[in-house]
Amino acid sequence: MNFKKILRITLGLAVLGIFVFTIYYLYAKSQKKPVVYETETPFYTDIVRKTVATGAVVPRKEIAIKSKVSGIIEKIYLEAGNHIKRGDVIAKVKIIPDMVILNNAESRLNRAQIGFDNAKTDFDRNSNLSADGVISKAEFQQYELAFRNAKEELETAENNLQLIKEGASKRTGQASNTLVRSTISGMVLDVPVKEGNSVIESNTFNEGTTIASVADMGEMIFEGKIDESEVGKLHEGMDLILTIGAIEQNDFPAKLEYIAPKGVTENGAIQFQIRAAVTLDTSHFIRAGYSANADIILQKRDSVMAIKEGLISFSGDTPYVEVEISPQEFEKREIKTGLSDGINIEVLDGVGEEDKLKAGKLEQQESSSS
């Protein structure tokens, strides 16, 4: 056999080998890769179904202190954060009288003075005549009565003018209307006015200018709103757990005490107001208006067998899971479920503790051939 013939045979075998390897490679690439699934087993846990209400923590008793007279703030004796008792003076108001009312009061005083002078003259003259027996006692009593009425009218006119000018009178002996006093004991939350500000009195037609806001910070409540889809599951006396954003890693217990009978529309949804009494502790000072979330426990199951809710599939309305019967071989099995918290779900029947349930894909492996 000569060299050329050997070379041709060698080249032919090489081409044949390359062709066979190419066919094998293309065949292997065209094969589907087998899927390997993870498995999970049921476990025991506590399942809690709850809803969340958003709102704020506010004092149960917060009072807006108003002025009883119109005028100018002459002096402020307290500032926000101070503790006060009922009756303590918060501010003093300097009265700026209305000129028409002041003019009428001065005119009334002048008329009263004229009437008093005339009645006194008649009384003095007829007093001497009565003492001499010239006139009877019955006739003298008329002059005495007129004198006493004129004296009373004069004193009333003087007091009225003094009240208009100063907010005080001789009879009261103190400027009670010009001193703004607290009506409750507690903490001053806000003093929205400053010395020199004008204030309007509280009356039938006007609520008046707020001099200060005072609240009892020892009794706080949570005020929030809850959606109409959840309100039917609530009732007075339910326990709440408050999470206050400004106080991290601390929860505060509360008890639901009010559910509004009427809802309001907010962003296209019906919301109902709720109120709960907050149990405070001495280690934290809760400021009025802190935003808070209230977790309301609707249902709870302790130490029940459960699986992850994502493992469940549905055939119509019937839930089922896929149980491993041999390595990577699964069969469908109907189950009966109970309470769910959105992540885990209680399993009442259909699977046992040792069953392995089909979960997500673990990995893909390329098929091999010999």
Helices (H), the chain: 3-30, 99-131, 137-166, 228-231
- With DSSP H G I counted as helix, E B as strand and the rest as coil, what are the percentages for the chain, rounded to 5? 25, 40, 35
pLDDT score at 366: 41
CB-based contacts of 238-243 (< 8 A; 24+ apart in sequence): 238/296, 238/297, 239/297, 240/53, 240/276, 240/294, 240/295, 240/296, 241/294, 241/295, 241/297, 242/57, 242/276, 242/278, 242/292, 242/293, 242/294, 242/295, 243/292, 243/293, 243/294, 243/295
Residues 108-152 have pLDDT tens digits of: 888 888 888 888 888 888 887 777 777 777 787 888 888 888 888
pLDDT over 60 at 11, yes or no: yes
Domains of the chain with CATH codes: 35-47+302-364 (2.40.420.20), 51-58+217-300 (2.40.30.170), 65-95+173-215 (2.40.50.100), 99-166 (1.10.287.470)
Strand-pair partners of 49:
299
CA–CA gap between residue 243 and residue 132 (Å, rounded): 93
Tens digit of pLDDT for each residue in 47-100?
988 888 999 999 999 999 998 888 889 899 999 999 999 989 999 888 777 677
Quick one: pLDDT at residue 5? 72
Separation of alpha carbons 67 and 105, rounded Å: 23
What pLDDT is recorded for position 370? 37
Q: How high is the pLDDT of residue 29?
A: 67
- Give percent above pLDDT 90 in the chain: 30
Nearest to 71 by CA among 179, 145, 151, 226: 179
Mean pLDDT to the nearest integer, 216-245:
90
Greater pLDDT, 100 or 304: 304
The per-residue pLDDT for 188 is 94
| pLDDT at residue 330, as a whole number | 87
Predicted confidence band at 369 (pLDDT cuts at 50, 70, 90)? very low
- Token look-up 């779900």 returns 345
Asked if residue 264 has pLDDT above 70, the reply is yes
Return the pLDDT at 276.
94
The residue whose two tokens read 């809760």 is 286
Give CA–CA dist 62/186, Å, rounded. 9
Extract the tokens encoding 86.
Answer: 């009922």
CA angle in degrees (0–180, nearest 5) for 114-119-122: 130
pLDDT at 1 over 60: no
Q: What is the mean pLDDT of the chain?
A: 84
Contact residues for 160 (Cβ-Cβ < 8 A; gap 6+): 105, 108, 109, 169
For 161-170, how does the pLDDT look when each residue is reduced to its tens digit (9 = 90+)?
Answer: 777 666 656 6
Summarised one tens digit per residue, pLDDT across range 307-327 is 999 889 888 888 999 888 888
Residue 365 has pLDDT above 60, yes or no: no
CA dihedral angle for residue 230, residue 231, residue 234, residue 237, rounded to 10 degrees: 140
pLDDT band at 172 (very low <50, low <70, confident <90, very high): low
Where does the pLDDT of residue 223 fall: very low under 50, low under 70, confident under 90, or very high at 90 and above? very high
Tell me the DSSP string of 164-180: HHHS--TTT-S-TTTEE
Please indicate whether residue 264 or residue 14 has the higher confidence score (pLDDT).
Answer: 264
Q: Is the pLDDT of residue 10 over 80?
A: no
Are 274 and 31 contacting, i.e. CB atoms less than 8 angstroms apart? no
Q: What angle do CA 163, 107, 169 make, to 5 degrees?
A: 15
What is the Cα–Cα distance from 239 to 224, expressed in whole angstroms? 15
Residue 367 has pLDDT above 60, yes or no: no
For 60: left if phi > 0, alpha if psi spans -120 to 50, otherwise beta; the answer is: alpha
Q: How confident is the model at residue 22 (pLDDT cuts 50, 70, 90)?
A: confident
Nearest to 277 by CA among 18, 80, 41, 59: 59
